[in-house]
Amino acid sequence: MADLLKKFFKGLELDSRMLGMIGALLLLWISFNFFTDGRFLTPRNLFNLSVQTASVAVMATGMVFVIVTRHIDLSVGSLLGFLGMLMGALQVHILPQYLGFGHPTIWIITVIFGIGIGVLIGAAQGWVIGFLAVPSFIVTLGGFLIYRGAAWWVTTGQTVAPLDVTYKLLGGGAEGTLGADISWLAGAAASIIAVVLMIQSRRQKQSHGFSLKPIWAEYTLGAIAVAMIMGFVTVMNSYPLSKGAVKRIFDARSEEIPQFAVVHGVAIPVLIVVIVAIVMTLVAKKTRFGRYIFATGGNPEAAELSGVDTKMLTVKVFALMGGLTAIAAVIASARLGSVGNDLGTLDELRVIAAAVIGGTALSGGFGTIYGALLGALIMQSLQSGMAMVGVDAPLQSIVVGLVLVLAVYLDIAYRRRAGK
């Protein structure tokens, strides 16, 4: 029996590090579920967990590229707060004067503006790092202080609220979801995309003469992927809306309140994370830009001698990080429905921790998008679980710090054993 299991897992050719992360996540969930008398693994808590993870997960995908190129970005938390404050002030104090309150284009203009500013700020930081050769640690540490102070000056410390109604849908909540029917369709579409990508990957390997997994392994992995996607949708569609939320939503639509239970479905922030993850994965694996990033991280001197403009590459990587930080700022501010001076506090540490726990090597050259997403989910699960158990905030920080150090140690040990 043991030999059969060993042969089975060998045939699947799964990344042992990823299996370890999944095992750690499941262990966390089961432990917290036990200590919370079954309240952790409920549709309600898993829905909240998915929404709470979204903003950090989006930034973690960009941090993978930053760390792979042997840099670091300590400014993302403060930049998130600054961009959130700018977007809040724009949609609350400026645009209504010209377009009127509740205008349907307010949220669109706000999001485009925020992403644009984020890209510009990120590119500026990348230019200083790449062309002026100032270490990224120093540049982004300066940004950490600058943007937090700048956020205060935008509104002289006042909280910006209420945000645009449509804009707030991007943060999840009762209204910010796909609903049951669209969630099923989205799950089916995601399942089809996953299977198609697996087929294309196998055909590409075959065309280049690479060794292939047994066909039964491909079918098994496809079935696992579809089961995970549809299982997640099933859980999200098992969380019913409260009677008050149902009444509020259908009154706003001037529709009759239905007699059947109305469920949340997949939250919009989760859909944003999925889209970002797919795009970033394709960028990493299918584009010249992605190949240059990993080549530069593996050996900067060799990459430069091969014709890679590493200076401009640094500008592009940090510009991308700035744009993703703006998207995260949209999710975080929309979820809260307001923007305060504490928005994004310590998020830089959570983002870096998510990327590192997910397997991104601090020495550069290696990292995965799916690993960063798993790392973000592990971090948020740890914090949410400790809060539900009743662990004091100072002790939560101690535990998270210890987990980060342990994760880096295990990563170093793993790479030494694997000879990477």
pLDDT digits (tens, 9 = 90+) for 80-132: 999 999 999 999 999 999 998 889 999 999 999 999 999 999 999 999 999 99
- Contact at 8 Å (CB) between 376 and 60? yes
Question: What would the pLDDT profile of 188-233 be if each residue is shown by its tens digit?
Answer: 999 998 888 888 888 887 887 777 777 887 888 889 999 999 999 9
**Does residue 157 register a pLDDT over 70?**
yes
From CA 188, how far away is CA 234, in angstroms rounded?
12
Inter-axis angle of helices 179-207 and 268-286, to 10 degrees?
Answer: 10
Question: Which of 145-149, 253-257, 312-316, 341-345 has the weakest average pLDDT?
Answer: 253-257
pTM: 0.93
What's the pLDDT at 44? 93
Domains belonging to the chain, first-starting first, are 15-176+267-418 (1.10.3470), 177-266 (no CATH)
What's the pLDDT at 3? 63
Q: Is 123 helix (H, G, I), strand (E, B) or coil?
A: helix
Question: What are the percentages of helix, strand and coil residues in the chain, rounded to 5?
Answer: 75, 0, 25
From CA 147, how far away is CA 343, in angstroms rounded?
12
**Does residue 418 register a pLDDT over 70?**
no
Q: Is 328 exposed, middle or buried (0-12, 13-18, 19+ CB in 10 A)?
A: buried
Q: pLDDT above 90 covers what percent of the chain? A: 62
What's the pLDDT at 321? 98
Q: Is 109 exposed, middle or buried (0-12, 13-18, 19+ CB in 10 A)?
A: middle
**Does residue 299 register a pLDDT over 80?**
yes
Identity of the residue numbered 88: G
- Contact at 8 Å (CB) between 65 and 129? no
Question: Within 10 A of 411 (CB to CB), how many other CB atoms are there?
Answer: 21
Q: Is 1 exposed, middle or buried (0-12, 13-18, 19+ CB in 10 A)?
A: exposed
